[in-house]
A and B are shown apart, each in its own frame.
Chain A
């Protein structure tokens, strides 16, 4: 079963179409939601949470319709909003316990899991302090703790590294990687930072102007371009390229001795050195280039998505 299923989802707010016919299925353990500001990322999250009602189409989480089964969906979801959202005059543990009780846990269990969640995210030592005395990084973590405390199946994180310094960001990313590795919770992470998504996600949904610009499995994308090589060499480049083509490589030469090639799976890097030696070519630099998330994102941004159409990337 897919984690999230979008079926021609359209959301109109204030007379403006914010999400326009989104269609697709998301299966990943950690799904990244990318897009420029105003692309509709937060609106999509709020629709999944049942804050907004679709004007057309449907969205389903674990097969449950967001319009008709809000309570059951929210039971299975932990949500970490983008902006500050807490009750400042409560202590950390009291706040997380309150949220866990609202999610349906009995008071005793909620208290126990509030302590555990706070230790899990690294706020164990400050759990009795009032939240309005926390630093920005701690406030992000307390939002994560409350989202985890009731044991959700899907964790929705809206810009989780917003406003964090590099150390706090690294800590947040590490925590998310841990959650993903343990595999009990699916993640949906919205961000405009490609690096955050690259570090944590295995599937990405890219939105542009309220439409799906790309829906792609990051790992598959990387694997499909794993034999893309850039090199710089001295000597008879044309002969070298001819020899590589004879081996089955796609090869292109550029001024300054630069060569770009795609190797078939059967060819190993040491074959390049052998061919270079046979043609008296000296390889000065070699780069094995992966297709980065940035490449995927930029290609998606260049394409103009049509309604209900996924752009091939």
Chain B
């Protein structure tokens, strides 16, 4: 084609690799997410706790502060597993808010405008489509979870007057693994639920509901039947228990209410499998007619 001649011109140039085409989906998904000012606002809010924690680490390790303000007493805040448990919890729950806002923007436009037949008529598979969107959401959530968490860990290791990092490697590994696990679950769940709801606002509500409504039901079940197993439906509880074990932080819940790690892993696996099944059923160029 040519603008001035209005004639068709076949394309004979080089082609990108299949992997790069998944990157195209990721890039456009990113642009779509950042097109909203609310995304920017939420992103800024998600960094406020990090600034507070950063100041906390600075004060805790600064000899001048200890001398002048604390008058030689021990640090007013101890930088340990409990501290990083608070960091991880706050960032991971802020990630839920961002997922509820961003995930519907990545998928709902394609679903509501019936763009899937055109998107999937290009040399990109359904897996490639989901992988592209997943990568966008996963990397987006990474920026507010494990990246700043590891950054704080590194800063503490740098600021500490004693060799701190070597004796607290479990905290670093726990921060990384706990964050990654959570944002994988969150990304899959967010995309799956968004693909089933055409309206973005409703999809946002559904994502919150999917996490907190079962938690309420689980609490009721546990209270009525006097069993701890109802807490398996309570994602905040099971994730808190899992993160505590990963970081080596003290358990908050009473011993009889703690859940086995295997059961928690099974619930998370089930949640991921359910999300993948939902995506598999929904991300299609055409719906299969039954009957």
Query: Chain A residues in contact with chain B, CB under 8 A?
Result: 13-16, 46, 49, 51-52, 70-72, 74-75, 77, 79, 81, 83-89, 98-99, 101-106, 109, 113, 115-117, 119-120, 124, 132, 143, 146, 148, 150-151, 153, 178-179, 182, 184-185
Enumerate chain B interface residues (CB-CB to A < 8 A): 1-3, 6-16, 18, 21, 24-25, 28, 109-110, 112-125, 284-286, 288-291
Our pick among B8, B13, B117, B124 for the contact of A102 (Cβ within 8 Å) is B124
Tell me the bound Cα distance from A143 to B288 in angstroms: 23
Say whether, besides A14-B289, A49-B285, A151 and B9 are in contact (CB < 8 Å): yes
Could you tell me the distance between the alpha carbons of A51 and B117 in the complex, rounded to whole angstroms? 9
Offer 14 A-B interface pairs, CB within 8 angstroms, sorted by A. Answer: A13-B288, A72-B123, A74-B123, A81-B117, A85-B118, A87-B109, A99-B119, A101-B24, A104-B21, A113-B1, A116-B2, A120-B8, A151-B11, A184-B10
Count: A-B pairs, CB below 8 Å: 126
Closest A residue to B11 by beta carbon equals: A151
Bound together, the chains give a CA A115 to CA B15 distance in angstroms of 19
Nearest CB of chain A from residue B17's CB, rounded to whole Å? 8
Interface pair A151/B10, CB less than 8 Å apart? yes
Q: A75–B13 Cα gap in the complex (Å)?
A: 13
B interface, over-half SS: loop
Q: In the bound complex, do residue B113 and residue A87 qualify as a contact, i.e. CB atoms below 8 Å apart?
A: yes
Residues of B contacting A148 with CB < 8 Å?
1, 8
Q: 8 tightest CB-CB pairs across the interface, nearest first?
A: A151-B11, A116-B1, A104-B15, A79-B121, A14-B290, A102-B122, A74-B123, A71-B123
Q: Distance (Å) between the CB of B30 and the closest chain A CB?
A: 13
Please tell me if the beta carbons of A124 and B3 are within 8 angstroms of each other in the complex: yes
Cβ–Cβ contact B122 & A74, under 8 A:
yes
**Contact (Cβ within 8 A) A106 B290:** no
Rounded to whole angstroms, the CA-CA distance of A15 and B288 in the bound complex is: 10
* Pair A102/B289 contact, Cβ less than 8 Å: no
| A119 and B11 in contact, given A14-B288, A74-B121 (Cβ under 8 angstroms) | no
Known contacts A13-B288, A49-B121, A85-B118; is A119 also within 8 Å of B1 by CB? yes
**Which of A52, A84, A182 is B7 in contact with, Cβ under 8 Å?**
A182
